[in-house]
Chain A
Amino acid sequence: MRLPWSRRDRPRRAPPPVEPLTASALTWLLAALALAVAPQATELSVWLSVLFAALVGWRGFIVFRNRALPPRWLLLLVATLAGAGVMIDHRTLFGRDAGVALLTAMTACKLLESRGLRDGVVLVFLGYLLVMSNLLYSQDIPLVTYLLAVILVMLTAQVLIHRQHAGLTALAPLRLTGRMVLLAIPVMLILFVLFPRIPGPLWGLPKDAYKGRTGLSEQMAPGSVSELIRSDAVAFRVRFADAVPPSNQRYWRGPVLWHFDGRRWTRPEEPPVKTPIPFTPEGAAVDYAVVLEPSNRNWLFALDLPARLPPRAGMTPSFQLLRDQPVNEVYRYEMRSYPAYRTAEPTAMERSRGLQLPPRANPRARALVAEWRQRDPQPEALVRSALTLFREQPFYYTLNPPELGGEIVDDFLFRTRRGFCEHYASAFVFLMRAGGVPARVVLGYQGGEMNALGGYLMVRQSDAHAWAEVWLEGRGWVRVDPTGAVAPNRVQQGLYAALSDSRLLPFLARHGGDSEWLRQLALGWDILNNSWNEWVLAYGPERQKEFLSGLGFGPADWTGMTVAMLIALGGFGVLYAGWRWRSRLARDPVARAWQRFCARLARRGLARGAAEGPLDFAGRVAAGRPELAAGVWEIARLYAALRYGPVAPPEQVRQLRQLTRRFRA
């Protein structure tokens, strides 16, 4: 069927013949694309990985067996089915996962349509997109190194596509691209450091943009923290300006949970303010810098109690730091905290929130508190009674607590008595509120491990913790960690020391044993990762300003950066041009000999004009210095013959070199 708008009907000039893709170009292209998709093979749906591998294989088969490409209708069918498959998998064609899946599917389909140079170029461009899409999932050192290699292969494929005459040598393009990438790295570094960064995002990110990050959740129910314990991923790393506070003071404050519905603790809407919430410090400040891993949360963690605000961040009245954008890049900020403090009176709203309880829940716990209050109604006494209960009754600290049913506080306090930090925090705050003492749950991390070699503290997901704060007359909000009453080692030495069965812990959170050397190796590796995070991944708009201002050229703004960038690029360009000139001379004996000859004449005031040909120059010299004429003409003629003639015979090159060496002006 011929449609009216079909291209063939137009009386146009015949299209230029398709420049075909050579077998070597296609081989490299297929390899590059397969390598670009490989890291995501497990993330993608199985059918898509299989489809991609199959189509790459098929295209390779077509090349090597000289078969015809599949008909167009088949291509359209595969493309439609693949699109539908992505749609069914993700229920959308937008968003991170669906986008990457669609890109992969369409690249696979394009392979079957790859006839000519133009198709090859489209595939290479798609390949660069595929390489970049890997960075949405991880930016760690091994992956980045790998992707750099993939870029090299992709560039080589791009070079081969443009070499219509296959032949001469096979590895020359790889050497060429290798050199190009090496030369590109300094330029990349200049741009990376000096190109003025713009804070993102520019437009709405897809909902699943940062899916799958491990980290604290914004509510707490039995089991929600202990789930995290199984991950030894680093949550953040901290470098202290001075002494590192002891472990039992290292409470990294996260979300503060006020509302209890009988099972779940949640966070009310607490709008952050742009100035630090005031409190009275009682002791020295601790200064430190945190490098936070992406969490897809706005939360910034700080030691109790934070006294300043990182840029673009605010603080809730419960002293939680919130950034205006979720942290989806490695983010570094500097902080100051006061471990000893006294906070102000709670507002009426805080007080009512701090006493909220679901009515009539957990009658046995309420009865227990009523009993304590009859003995001593002081809030401090209630706190002591609760801690004594945990310490002296057979309560256990375990990663595998039994399921809680019904009234969970009662069930925990009077039946199971085995729990993780969230069980103790939850029960403790319930008891306090039942006794009329305002209290709240704080989520965050506790402790952290020093990397002695690197001089920084690593806080892992397995350091996640929940504790309580009660409000005491005259002292303000006071931190109470009921877990410490059950398992003092947890607070003083970390999770490993507190658990009797460490096999449940992730490998890196264990200490000692046969594999200690492996753990040490892992710590060394973490140092590398930390530097990578701190200096490379965290290099955003703020870090850039901070770093460049720190160089001592005054505060860095974008005009300054642009000027510095252009100067640096120009400087590199000049260096590169000079190096190329020198190496050209070194490679070319004829040019070098001529250069020497011209230099000698120039010293006698006979400089060759920039556009002056050798014979013109010789004529001028001969006219000015007749006694030199014979020698000059001989050299100039020989040079012109070698330079502009056909292939230079080696004996003539030797002769020219001898003549110029002997020449005296």
Chain B
Amino acid sequence: MGALWRRFEGWVMRGQRPSAEPIRLTRRRIYILPTGQGYAFATLLFLLFLWSINYSNSMGFAFTFLLAAVALNSMWQAHDNLLGLIVDSSGAEPVFAGQEARFAFRVENPDPRPRYGIALQWRDQPPRHTDLPASGAAVVTLTVLAERRGWLRTGRVRVLTRYPLGLLQAWSWVEFERACLVYPQPRGRRPLPAALSGGAGAGLGDQGFGSEDYAGFRLYAPGDSPRRIAWKAATRGGPLLVKQFTDQVRPELWLDWRLLGIDSVEPRLAQLCQWVLKAEGEGRRYGLLLPGARIAPGRGDAHRRRCLEALALFTYAEDVSHRHETAVEPEGPTKTRAAAG
């Protein structure tokens, strides 16, 4: 039955693509069927009808017919309750796998009459109800369990109403392009790798960009920050020198895919993710090395997000893993440099 129903839905939904725009619920998008209650009510009416025949009760017929007519009319009411609504997706904040993504939908009522009992439902989860004032809007949030890293889409979301009598359900499917980015689940018990460990291929020059601890001078090169020029030394008449700093006490980390060689892909990513969070939490500078991607050490929310995104969207292919040096940089304004060796 379920499979048949799914096939029917698939047939009904053929040709509908995820939308980037707000969706207006038009006549041809709205379907209507009795609910369980509706079938129960129909049974009740049938029994009342038989009862009226049995007792030759004229008013029994009249009341049975009246209730049937009211139920029939509620079909129109339910249909009207959805008609013309404008639904839009506001997307969802990124989450870690295993958490619940919260997708926000804005439902707008363009008509000068209120709409009651509008609900959004994701798959078999209980619907989330809201009322819409006349010419007003409401935001409905659906929570979806993010099971795997990567892009999470809600797929078809049901906009439904059982108002006014609950006997019939009018519904429409909406599907939006907007997706939620799911980071890998932070998991793993390995400690953070030692700084500069294993010749991670970190460029020596990188040290020069540290700003924590004073390490010495080097010759000025064009492009160096004026704040770092050793003005005192310059006044003494020497060559223009630049102060060099390095995080010697807490040297920068390379969170390297290859350090986790014994694990399969997902546990590796989970561990890397956990390291990213830990490093960020400890205030360390860290870089990320993945087959095919390299993110230079850095710190802060934007950096962390960049790393997590790379982990979330990482695709592993055998051939890529062996030539990660010929890196393709991940999208975005990252300023990573090709590794030297």
- The bracket for how many chain A residues form the interface is 35 or more
CA A17 – CA B69 in complex, angstroms?
Answer: 32
Chain A residues with CB below 8 A from B163, complex form? 159, 162-163
A165 pairs with B131, CB closer than 8 A = yes
B66 pairs with A185, CB closer than 8 A = yes
Distance to closest chain B CB from A555 (angstroms): 22
A135 pairs with B165, CB closer than 8 A = no
The contact of A329 among B58, B80, B129, by CB within 8 Å, is: B58
Q: Chain A residue with minimal CB distance to B47?
A: A129
CA A656 – CA B135 in complex, angstroms?
Answer: 18
Tell me, yes or no, whether A633 is within 8 Å of chain B by CB: no
Tell me, yes or no, whether A663 is within 8 Å of chain B by CB: no
Q: Chain B residue with minimal CB distance to A186?
A: B69
Tell me, yes or no, whether B41 is within 8 Å of chain A by CB: yes
Chain A residues with CB below 8 A from B131, complex form? 163, 165, 167-168
Take A168-B131, A187-B65, A188-B65 as given contacts and tell me if A180 and B53 are in contact as well, using a CB distance cutoff of 8 Å. no
Chain A residues with CB below 8 A from B135, complex form? 647-648
A540 pairs with B58, CB closer than 8 A = yes
Tell me, yes or no, whether B208 is within 8 Å of chain A by CB: no
A537 pairs with B129, CB closer than 8 A = no
Tell me, yes or no, whether B63 is within 8 Å of chain A by CB: yes
Distance to closest chain B CB from A323 (angstroms): 11
Tell me, yes or no, whether A213 is within 8 Å of chain B by CB: no
B41-86 residues with Cβ-Cβ distance < 8 A to A are: 41, 44, 48, 50-51, 53-70, 72-74, 76-77, 80, 86
CA A169 – CA B73 in complex, angstroms?
Answer: 22
The contact of B62 among A192, A202, A587, by CB within 8 Å, is: A192
Chain B residues with CB below 8 A from A644, complex form? 22, 24, 86
Distance to closest chain B CB from A400 (angstroms): 38
Take A180-B77, A200-B54 as given contacts and tell me if A132 and B69 are in contact as well, using a CB distance cutoff of 8 Å. no
B55 pairs with A168, CB closer than 8 A = no
B63 pairs with A132, CB closer than 8 A = yes
Distance to closest chain A CB from B32 (angstroms): 15
Distance to closest chain B CB from A401 (angstroms): 38
- The bracket for how many chain B residues form the interface is 35 or more
Interface-facing stretch out of B105-113, B212-220, B260-268, B311-319: B105-113
Chain B residues with CB below 8 A from A517, complex form? none
Q: Interface on chain A toward B: helix, strand, loop, or mixed SS?
A: helix
Chain A residues with CB below 8 A from B24, complex form? 644
Distance to closest chain A CB from B21 (angstroms): 9
CA A647 – CA B111 in complex, angstroms?
Answer: 9
B112 pairs with A162, CB closer than 8 A = no
A646 pairs with B117, CB closer than 8 A = no
Take A159-B165, A191-B65 as given contacts and tell me if A537 and B59 are in contact as well, using a CB distance cutoff of 8 Å. yes
Tell me, yes or no, whether B338 is within 8 Å of chain A by CB: no
CA A158 – CA B17 in complex, angstroms?
Answer: 37
A125 pairs with B41, CB closer than 8 A = yes
Take A165-B130, A168-B114, A644-B86 as given contacts and tell me if A195 and B56 are in contact as well, using a CB distance cutoff of 8 Å. no
Q: Which of B62, B80, B165 has the most CB of A within 10 A?
A: B62
CA A330 – CA B55 in complex, angstroms?
Answer: 11
Chain A residues with CB below 8 A from B330, complex form? none
A131 pairs with B166, CB closer than 8 A = no
CA A139 – CA B55 in complex, angstroms?
Answer: 12
A643 pairs with B110, CB closer than 8 A = yes
CA A136 – CA B60 in complex, angstroms?
Answer: 9
The contact of B56 among A147, A165, A328, by CB within 8 Å, is: A328
CA A538 – CA B61 in complex, angstroms?
Answer: 12
Distance to closest chain A CB from B5 (angstroms): 18
Chain A residues with CB below 8 A from B66, complex form? 148, 151, 181, 184-185, 188
B117 pairs with A164, CB closer than 8 A = yes
CA A646 – CA B166 in complex, angstroms?
Answer: 29
A136 pairs with B57, CB closer than 8 A = yes
A536-587 residues with Cβ-Cβ distance < 8 A to B are: 536-540, 576, 580, 587
Distance to closest chain B CB from A176 (angstroms): 6
A138-170, CB under 8 A of B: which get 1 and which 0? Answer: 010000100110010001001101111101110
Chain A residues with CB below 8 A from B129, complex form? 164-165
Q: Chain A residue with minimal CB distance to B129?
A: A164
Distance to closest chain B CB from A318 (angstroms): 27
Q: Chain B residue with minimal CB distance to A587?
A: B112
CA A188 – CA B66 in complex, angstroms?
Answer: 5
Take A16-B126, A202-B54, A328-B55 as given contacts and tell me if A192 and B63 are in contact as well, using a CB distance cutoff of 8 Å. no
Tell me, yes or no, whether B194 is within 8 Å of chain A by CB: no
CA A157 – CA B67 in complex, angstroms?
Answer: 14
Take A125-B44, A168-B133, A173-B164 as given contacts and tell me if A151 and B69 are in contact as well, using a CB distance cutoff of 8 Å. no
Chain A residues with CB below 8 A from B51, complex form? 132
The contact of A202 among B53, B65, B77, by CB within 8 Å, is: B53
A203 pairs with B54, CB closer than 8 A = yes
Tell me, yes or no, whether B248 is within 8 Å of chain A by CB: no
CA A201 – CA B56 in complex, angstroms?
Answer: 7
Take A121-B166, A588-B111 as given contacts and tell me if A205 and B44 are in contact as well, using a CB distance cutoff of 8 Å. no
Tell me, yes or no, whether B122 is within 8 Å of chain A by CB: no
Tell me, yes or no, whether A209 is within 8 Å of chain B by CB: yes
Distance to closest chain A CB from B65 (angstroms): 4
Q: Which of B56, B59, B110, B136 has the most CB of A within 10 A?
A: B56
Chain B residues with CB below 8 A from A341, complex form? none
Distance to closest chain B CB from A583 (angstroms): 11
CA A426 – CA B20 in complex, angstroms?
Answer: 96
CA A580 – CA B108 in complex, angstroms?
Answer: 22
Tell me, yes or no, whether B326 is within 8 Å of chain A by CB: no
CA A187 – CA B65 in complex, angstroms?
Answer: 8
A646 pairs with B59, CB closer than 8 A = no
Take A131-B63, A643-B110 as given contacts and tell me if A202 and B50 are in contact as well, using a CB distance cutoff of 8 Å. yes
A139 pairs with B67, CB closer than 8 A = no
Q: Which of A155, A180, A580 has the most CB of B within 10 A?
A: A180
Take A121-B166, A201-B55 as given contacts and tell me if A195 and B67 are in contact as well, using a CB distance cutoff of 8 Å. no
Chain A residues with CB below 8 A from B48, complex form? 128-129, 132
CA A183 – CA B50 in complex, angstroms?
Answer: 24
Chain B residues with CB below 8 A from A129, complex form? 44, 48
Distance to closest chain B CB from A449 (angstroms): 26
Tell me, yes or no, whether B162 is within 8 Å of chain A by CB: yes
The contact of B166 among A151, A158, A184, A188, by CB within 8 Å, is: A158
Take A191-B69, A203-B54 as given contacts and tell me if A646 and B108 are in contact as well, using a CB distance cutoff of 8 Å. yes
Chain A residues with CB below 8 A from B73, complex form? 180, 183-184, 187
Chain B residues with CB below 8 A from A136, complex form? 55, 57
Q: Chain B residue with minimal CB distance to A140?
A: B59
Take A132-B63, A162-B166, A647-B135 as given contacts and tell me if A139 and B57 are in contact as well, using a CB distance cutoff of 8 Å. yes
Distance to closest chain A CB from B241 (angstroms): 60
Chain B residues with CB below 8 A from A117, complex form? 166
Q: Chain A residue with minimal CB distance to B23?
A: A644
Tell me, yes or no, whether A172 is within 8 Å of chain B by CB: yes
A205 pairs with B54, CB closer than 8 A = yes
Tell me, yes or no, whether B137 is within 8 Å of chain A by CB: yes
Distance to closest chain B CB from A655 (angstroms): 17
Chain B interface (Cβ within 8 Å of chain A)? 22, 24, 28, 37, 40-41, 44, 48, 50-51, 53-70, 72-74, 76-77, 80, 86, 108, 110-114, 116-117, 126, 129-131, 133, 135-137, 162-166
Closest 8 CB pairs of A and B: A184-B69, A187-B69, A329-B56, A191-B65, A162-B166, A201-B54, A164-B129, A188-B65
20 A–B pairs (Cβ distance < 8 Å), ordered by A? A125-B41, A129-B44, A135-B59, A136-B55, A136-B57, A158-B166, A159-B164, A162-B117, A162-B162, A168-B131, A180-B77, A185-B69, A191-B68, A198-B53, A328-B55, A329-B55, A330-B58, A540-B56, A580-B80, A644-B86
With A168-B131, A199-B53 known, 20 other A-B pairs at CB within 8 A are A125-B40, A125-B44, A128-B44, A128-B48, A132-B51, A135-B60, A159-B165, A163-B117, A163-B163, A172-B114, A177-B70, A177-B164, A184-B69, A187-B72, A191-B61, A205-B55, A329-B55, A587-B113, A643-B110, A648-B135
